[in-house]
Chain A
Amino acid sequence: MDVLISLLDGIMVALEPINLGLAILGVVVGLFVGAMPGLGSVNGVAILLPFTFVIQSFTGGATSPMIFLAAIYYGAMYGGAISSITLGIPGASTAVSTTFDGRPMALAGKAHIALVAAALASFIGGTISNIMFTGFAPLLASVALSFGDPEVFALMLMAFATFIGLGGDDIPKTIFSICIGLVLATVGFDIVSGEPRLIFFDITGFTHGIRFLVLAIGVYGIGEMLWTINTNRHGSSMTQVDVSARSIIEAIKEFRHAKRGTLIGSFLGFFVGILPAAGATPGALMAYGVAKLTSKDQASFGKGNINGIAAPEAANNSASTGAMLPMMTLGIPGSPTTAVLLAGMVIWGLQPGPLLFTNQPDFVWPLIGSFYISNVIAVLVNLAFIPVFLWMLRMPFTILAPMIFVLSLVGTFAAYLDMFDVSLMVLVGFAAFFLRILDYPVAPAVLAIVLGPIAEPKLRQSLLFSDGDFTIFLTRPIAGPITVVALILIFLPLIKFIKNKMTTKKET
């Protein structure tokens, strides 16, 4: 009951004109920043952090600036789906899984359905995680604390298991794609040994590693684009879409088919999100994998199944709210964006930690209240802007393509402020184009580069802890069951496949 009263008080504060105005402004800024390929929530909050000091000097407390940044975060999570669906370029790692089905739907002329499903799933995911956040924050914080290195590695293993379903039919090419993603992820600096690794030709640009967006924008912005131009010679515009209000309403009705994916995404995303170091990307990926594995119609995933959009979108929004939990209660960021938010809180003079809820109720509850408010604003603003984004798709291809190329290059630079990354991104794009023609699946590589940098250090830190004993992953109470399930998931399809091959061989 106390919680509900505090929450209501918080919502009232969040609805004060200044805070409401900041939330609306933040959501709109975030939506556009997120929709821009290359820029995600982390750029939005990092760049506007200094601006919050101006807000603070007007309003006094830390509440209004934080509401503003949280609104940007929300808006950007919604926006990420927009470039994934309309342009086929995931703007942030969290939105990669959204392209798997979002892009085929857009190409089939159902972009409006995909965008609406993404918006509504995000809303539901955000709301469910807000409720869980409000109700169980302290309890969940202790769950997060009990996750050590072996547990996080086991969880990563689980995420890898969902990969198996993502590749094409060609097994060696799928494994190759996963492995090259994981290998490229090791380029740069090895934290455990403290030494540079795989610095090809001693180029300084490799010392920071091959970043996610270099691969993602290269593969999707350049590679896929070239491939589309090559295969799609007659169509003058990218897709035919209907931009009427009626089509949006139809699309909202269509969303009823996405219930299952949304629910899976909302809960799974939240639990993965609250674990420090995991963040929203594995959450979205696992939600996609689970939605597919439990579906009666597995074959339609990757070809435009609405649940394939709803699950990762619900999950990444849910996980973003979840990631606020370790940030506020443990003082550790679950993602780069929460790292910047954390920096903001400290600069405004707050001390994140287990006592934040008791010591700073005037800050915490209005902020949580604003999550609810921002979520509502975000879904409304998003739905209102969908026709604008759809209109972009109707541009002739010879205008849209060069603009996507320009945005890919500018976006890569804006994300990392390094021309080397831009050149590498173009190179990756050409390589991806050639590999695409030869049926190499590229999505596993893109995801592997996100998971690799989490998985490898966790593996090695765990083994340092256990003196090199691998049984640590099986004997710990939480890590053990997760590892076992992950291993079964990884090997099940392989065994199935070999069985199938054997039987088909006997028949022929």
Chain B
Amino acid sequence: MTFAKQIFIGLVGVTMMTGMLSSTVAAFEPNKPVEFIIMAGKGGGADKMARLLQAIVEKEKLSSRPLFPTNKSGGSGAEALIAAKNANDPDHTIMVTLNSFFTTPLRQPGLRIDNTEFAPIGRMAEDSFLLWVNKDSGITTFEQYLQVAKADGSKWVMGGTGRAGEDNIITNYLNNEFGLTMKYIPYQGGGEVAKQVAGNQLNSSVNNPSEALGFYESGDLVPLVAFTDERLPLFPDVPTLKELGSDFSYFMQRAVVGAPGMSEDALAYYTDLFTKVYASADWQDYKTKQSLMGEFMSGDQLRAYWDQQNSRHTVILKASGDIK
């Protein structure tokens, strides 16, 4: 290949690239601040993530208009879902979601929310869950845990975030699968739960790694088992439940969605925006440190993921008696 030819091909490539870029950019670009709804209160895991995403967008100057975060924590996500559904301008309304994206429409059918109507912008990560106990309990393996918890019956107390939420689902699973009768007490946030276990007020918890990391490093909390498919890089010595013979894993989606009725062009713009955010060093760094899993996912792939999660949660909640 001659040098001239290389330049020629390069030029064609560049013009095609710029052509493609400008066509996507010209199609849609926000002309006012973008409302960034957070499905949780200030300071929680979702809020932390949303504010980091906002900061990355501003720092890397990825968007011509800023994202302004709005916390809508009401009704376990109900308020956020309704706000997004009734958004005046769906092209300028995006939302960061958790698993209440699946459970709340099931638990509160009166809301008439169909979560598949939301625009699939991008799944930024999946958060994992581990089973934690206090080091003073002397428990070091899952088998020991099962023995002690079984012996204590309903005196064994598990804490978690909210009722019929992620932590409750895992607790119910453990109770059913291993014939336990652990008591579950719902709290406002995961940080509080971890602290209660560290202070010996509760016996165990199923916190996300990020919530319990401080106490893990100090040795106060001991992880026994991970509810993931593969071992977590941060906890290489902690077995997964699958290794121990039970086919169960559970994750929390951390995804950005667009308001129902968002135009195709806007969806393409935001998907592109969050693809760039995902690739940024800051996000990758955060993902590693917080032990987040999961690759970027968008469009039809993300929709298929939602369908799968919807049917899974219907089964889980029916089994636990949290829905009819």
Contacts and interface: CB of A to CB of B under 8 A. Distances in A.
**A and B, direct touch (CB closer than 8 Å):** yes
Interface of A: 42, 46, 49-50, 53-54, 57, 145-149, 188-189, 191-196, 202, 204, 206-209, 276-277, 326, 330-333, 336, 338-340, 342-343, 346-347, 349, 351-356, 359, 417-418, 457, 461, 464-465, 467
A353 B185 contact: no
Contacts of A333: 43, 191
20 contacts: A46-B42, A46-B69, A49-B55, A50-B55, A148-B199, A188-B75, A189-B76, A194-B165, A196-B75, A196-B108, A208-B79, A330-B215, A331-B191, A332-B192, A346-B210, A353-B213, A354-B215, A355-B218, A461-B186, A465-B157
A347 B48 contact: yes
A465 B157 CA distance: 7
Given A191-B187, A196-B78, A340 B70 contact: no
A207 B285 contact: no
Contacts of B76: 189, 194
A347 B55 contact: yes
A145 B192 CA distance: 11
Q: Which 8 A-B pairs have the closest CB atoms?
A: A353-B214, A339-B43, A194-B163, A208-B74, A207-B75, A207-B74, A354-B218, A148-B201
A345 to B, nearest CB: 10
B116 interface: no
B72 interface: yes
Contact of A277 (B72, B183, B192): B192
A196 B163 CA distance: 12
A354 B107 contact: no
A204 B111 CA distance: 9
Contacts, number: 160
A330 B164 contact: no
Contact of B110 (A53, A202, A277): A202
Interface residues of B, number: 62
Contact of B195 (A46, A145, A202, A417): A145
A149 B200 CA distance: 12
Nearest to A467: B154
B52 interface: yes
Contact of B43 (A188, A342, A356): A342
A196 B77 CA distance: 11
B286 A347 contact: yes
A225 to B, nearest CB: 28
Given A54-B58, A194-B164, 16 more contacts: A46-B69, A49-B51, A53-B58, A54-B59, A189-B74, A191-B188, A195-B163, A204-B83, A276-B192, A331-B211, A332-B195, A338-B43, A339-B44, A342-B43, A351-B214, A461-B186
Interface string B43-71: 11001100110111011000000000111
B229 to A, nearest CB: 25
Interface string B271-289: 0000000000000011001
B124 interface: no
B48 A346 contact: yes
Nearest to A349: B289
A94 B40 CA distance: 23
B140 interface: no
Interface string B79-106: 1001100000000000000000000000
B24 interface: no
B71, B74, B108: which has the most chain A beta carbons within 10 Å? B74
B96 to A, nearest CB: 13
B51 A347 contact: yes
B285 A349 contact: yes
Contacts of A208: 72-75, 79
A13 B132 CA distance: 38
A342 B189 CA distance: 13
A204 B43 contact: no
B162 interface: yes
B166 interface: no
B217 interface: yes
Contacts of A206: 74
B210 to A, nearest CB: 7
B198 interface: yes
Contacts of A338: 43
A354 B220 contact: yes
Given A331-B214, A331-B215, A145 B51 contact: no
A42 B42 contact: yes
B82 A204 contact: yes
B196 interface: yes
B194 interface: yes
Interface in B201-257: 201, 210-211, 213-215, 217-218, 220
Given A145-B195, A204-B82, A330 B214 contact: yes
B55 A193 contact: no
Contacts of A46: 42, 51, 69
Contacts of B51: 46, 49-50, 340, 343, 347
A149 B59 contact: no
B290 interface: yes
Contacts of B54: 50
B320 to A, nearest CB: 11
Contacts of A42: 42
B158 to A, nearest CB: 11
A50 B282 CA distance: 13
Nearest to A335: B43
Interface string B151-165: 000100100001111
Nearest to A194: B163
A325 to B, nearest CB: 12
B214 A145 contact: no
Contacts of B110: 202
B234 to A, nearest CB: 11
Contacts of B183: 464-465
Contacts of A191: 162-163, 186-188
Nearest to A326: B195
A464 B75 contact: no
A402 B286 CA distance: 47
B43 A336 contact: yes
A296 to B, nearest CB: 40
A330 B198 contact: yes
A353 B52 contact: no
B214 A355 contact: yes
Contacts of B79: 204, 207-208
Contacts of A54: 58-59
A208 B71 CA distance: 10
Contacts of B78: 189, 196, 204, 207
B59 A53 contact: yes
Nearest to B210: A346
Contact of A331 (B70, B195, B322): B195
Given A194-B107, A207-B74, A352 B55 contact: no
A346 to B, nearest CB: 6
A343 B82 CA distance: 26
Contacts of A353: 213-215, 217-218
A276 B289 contact: no
Given A49-B55, A202-B110, A347-B48, A188 B74 contact: yes
Contact of B194 (A331, A464, A467): A331
B42 A336 contact: yes
B52 to A, nearest CB: 5
